[in-house]
């Protein structure tokens, strides 16, 4: 029986604030899963803590709602143990680049074949709007008593520096575009990082939906909003590393850095960098353990019919024999 979009939804009441950008991400994830026809049982959504952390409960695939900052290592453990699973990790910007920053870096270096989506709204929503790692220095959102005293991280540039092999940005109010990015991320072999600009209607009154849509710039555009967000595709941008064709990683990355540095009145979304020339962590294990594809940890039997160990350690004891 073919799976429909509704098969990817649960009955759980969604308690995000009305107007929250998270809804667009959730829809895009569900649509992307449905369109790539990922089997419900073989797919797992792993989340951190915060509003974004509730995502798995709304998606009808196996959902692992983990700890603040730790969805990446949980997901890595799942995927390494059973590489046949489709793993999608979701988390907030504070989760991924604040408390979980160490894992963010390490995940880029490993390149495990999975998707990592960050819900990027510049604030810690569930704790009433404190500044998150992506909020610009000096910004005073309404939840802050004083302007933000800490400089922001550029998630895209950080991701490229860490070795992520797929780096993209979407906008939660452009669901169709975001869906296509997530589909590309699922198709990518390696860790695909998707930063999603996601206005928090309750606590971030600066980077709001109206701001992204450029409603404050109508004077420059004959009374019509002048959107800040534009797609890389519209510029004919090519994110793909193809060393044989003369576009090596360094060349693409330098282009990508330039676009990723844009902010303010023009904010690009789309795929910035895609490099399938780097082996995944699974490939690297396979080099050492040729049996890994056929018999990864989750597919090995550990006991025989009599519940006795199947591993033969006699030879190891012989090495230690005296």
Partner 1 sequence: MIENRLQWCIGGAQGSGVDTSANIFSRACAEGGLWVAGKREYFSNIKGEHSYFVVRVDSKEVHALHDAIDMLATFDDETVARHFDEVVKGGALIYDSALVNKKIEDIPTLERRIREELAKRFPSSPPTIGTLIESCRSRGVHVCAVNYSSLLNVISSKTGEKRMSVLGRMVNVIAVAVSFALLKYDIADLKSSIDRIFGGKKNVAAMNGTAAEVAYEYVKGNFHEEIDCRLMKVPRGKGKRMLLNGNQAVALGKVAGGLRFQTYYPITPAADESTYLERYERFPMKGKDGARGSIVVLQTEDEIAAVTMAIGGALAGVRTATCTSGPGFSLMAEGIGWAGINEVPVVITNYQRAGPSTGMPTRHEQGDLKFSMYGGHGDFPRMVICSADMQECFYDANHAFNYAERYQMPVIHLIDKALANSTESVPYFDPSGMNIDRGLFMGDGTPFVLKEGEEYARFKFTENGISPRIPVGTPGAVFWNTGDEHTEIGHITEDPVLRNMMMEKRMGKLDLALKEIPADEQYHYFGDDKPDLLVVSWGSTKGAILEAVDGLRKEGKKIGFLQMRLILPFPAEKVREFAGRAGKIAVMEMNYVGQLADVIAEYTGIMAEFRVVKYNGRPITVDEARSSLRSILEGRSEKRVVLTHGA
User: How many angstroms separate the CA atoms of 98 and 159, rounded?
Assistant: 14
Picking from 209, 200, 75, 225, the residue whose alpha carbon sits closest to that of residue 135 is 200
Per CB under 8 A, 102 contacts partner 1: yes
Q: Output 40 or 254, the one with its CB closest to partner 1.
A: 40
Contact with partner 1 (CB under 8 A): which of 145, 219, 245, 311?
A: 311
Output 61 or 267, the one with its CB closest to partner 1.
61
In the bound complex, what is the minimum distance in angstroms from residue 295's beta carbon to partner 1? 7
Q: Binding to partner 1 (CB under 8 A): which residues in 2-31?
A: 12
Q: Out of 41, 223, 236, 244, point to the residue binding partner 1 (CB under 8 A).
A: 41
How far is the C-alpha of 117 from the C-alpha of 125, rounded, in Å? 17
- Kindly list the distances between the CA atom of residue 15 and the CA atoms of 9, 67, 95, 152, 314, in Å, as whole numbers in the listed order: 15, 19, 19, 29, 57
Asked if 300 interacts with partner 1 (CB under 8 A), we say yes
Burial class (CB in 10 A: 0-12, 13-18, 19+), 123: buried
63 interacts with partner 1 by CB under 8 A: yes
CB of 103 to partner 1, least distance (A): 6
The count of chain residues that interact with partner 1, using the rule CB under 8 A, is: 63
| SS3 of residue 234 by DSSP | helix
Binding range to partner 1, per CB under 8 A, among 134-142, 160-168, 191-199, 291-299: 291-299
Span from 57-65, 126-134, 216-224, 252-260 in contact with partner 1 (CB under 8 A) = 57-65
Q: Which of 91, 103, 111, 135 binds partner 1 (CB under 8 A)?
A: 103
List 9, 14, 35, 67, residue binding partner 1 (CB under 8 A) = 67
- What are 211's two structure tokens? 């701001």
Q: What is the spatial distance between Cα 152 and Cα 260, in angstroms, rounded to a whole number?
A: 14
CA torsion angle for 21, 27, 28, 31 (degrees, to 10)? 180
Using CB under 8 A as the binding rule, the residues of this chain from 105 to 164 that contact partner 1 are: 105-106
When asked if residue 313 is in the footprint of partner 1 (CB under 8 A), the reply is yes
Q: What is the DSSP string of 159-215?
A: HHHHT-SEEEEEETT-HHHHHHHHHHHHHSSSEEEEEEE---TTT-SSS-HHHHTTG
CA nearest neighbour of 122 among 157, 89, 148: 148
CA 273 to chain centre: 14
Q: Which residues pair with 44 in a beta bridge?
A: 62, 87
> What SS3 state is found at 305?
coil
For residue 292, the minimal CB distance to partner 1 (Å) is 7
- Binding to partner 1 (CB under 8 A): which residues in 232-271? none
Stated as kind and residue range, the H or E segment containing 179 is: helix 175-187
Measured from the CB atom, the residue of 244 and 318 that comes closer to partner 1 is 318
Residue 62 binding partner 1, by CB under 8 A: yes
The reply to whether 74 sits near partner 1 by the rule CB under 8 A is yes
Sign of torsion, CA 23 264 68 144? Answer: negative
Q: Distance (Å, rounded) from C-alpha 312 to C-alpha 192? A: 39
Taking CB under 8 A as the criterion, the residue among 51, 80, 156, 253 binding partner 1 is: 80
**Residue 226 touches partner 1, criterion: CB under 8 A:** no
- Residues that bind partner 1 in the complex, under the rule CB under 8 A: 12, 40-42, 44, 46, 49, 54, 56-57, 60-67, 70, 72-82, 84-85, 102-103, 105-106, 285, 288-289, 291-292, 295-298, 300-304, 307-313, 315-317, 320-322
């Amino acid at each position: 029986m073919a799976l429909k979009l509704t098969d990817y939804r649960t009955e759980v009441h969604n308690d995000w604030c009305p107007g929250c950008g998270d809804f667009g991400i959730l829809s895009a994830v569900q649509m992307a899963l449905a369109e790539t026809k990922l089997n419900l049982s073989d797919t797992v959504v792993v989340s951190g803590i915060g509003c974004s952390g509730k995502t798995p409960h709304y998606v009808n695939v196996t959902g692992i709602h983990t700890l603040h900052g730790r969805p990446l290592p949980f997901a890595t453990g799942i995927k390494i143990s059973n590489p046949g699973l489709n793993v999608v990790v979701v988390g907030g910007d504070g989760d991924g680049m604040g408390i979980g920053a160490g894992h963010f870096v390490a995940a880029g270096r490993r390149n495990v074949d999975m998707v990592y989506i960050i819900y990027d709204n510049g604030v810690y929503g569930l704790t009433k709007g404190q500044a998150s790692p992506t909020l610009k220095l000096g910004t005073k959102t309404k939840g802050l008593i004083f302007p933000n005293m800490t400089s922001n991280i550029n998630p895209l540039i950080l991701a490229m520096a860490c070795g992520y092999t797929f780096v993209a940005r979407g906008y939660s109010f452009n669901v169709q575009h975001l869906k296509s990015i997530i589909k590309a991320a699922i198709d990518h072999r390696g860790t695909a990082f998707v930063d999603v600009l996601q206005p928090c209607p309750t606590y971030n009154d600066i980077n709001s939906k109206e701001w992204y849509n450029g409603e404050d710039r109508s004077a420059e555009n004959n009374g019509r909003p002048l959107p800040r967000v534009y797609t890389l595709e519209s510029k004919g941008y090519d994110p793909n590393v193809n060393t044989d064709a003369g576009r090596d990683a360094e060349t693409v990355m330098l282009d990508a850095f330039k676009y990723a540095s844009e902010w303010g009145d023009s904010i690009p979304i789309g795929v910035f960098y895609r490099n399938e020339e780097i082996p995944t962590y699974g490939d690297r294990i396979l080099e050492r353990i040729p049996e890994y594809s056929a018999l990864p940890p989750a597919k090995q039997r550990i006991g025989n019919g009599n519940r006795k160990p199947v591993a033969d350690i006699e030879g190891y004891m012989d090495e230690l024999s005296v």
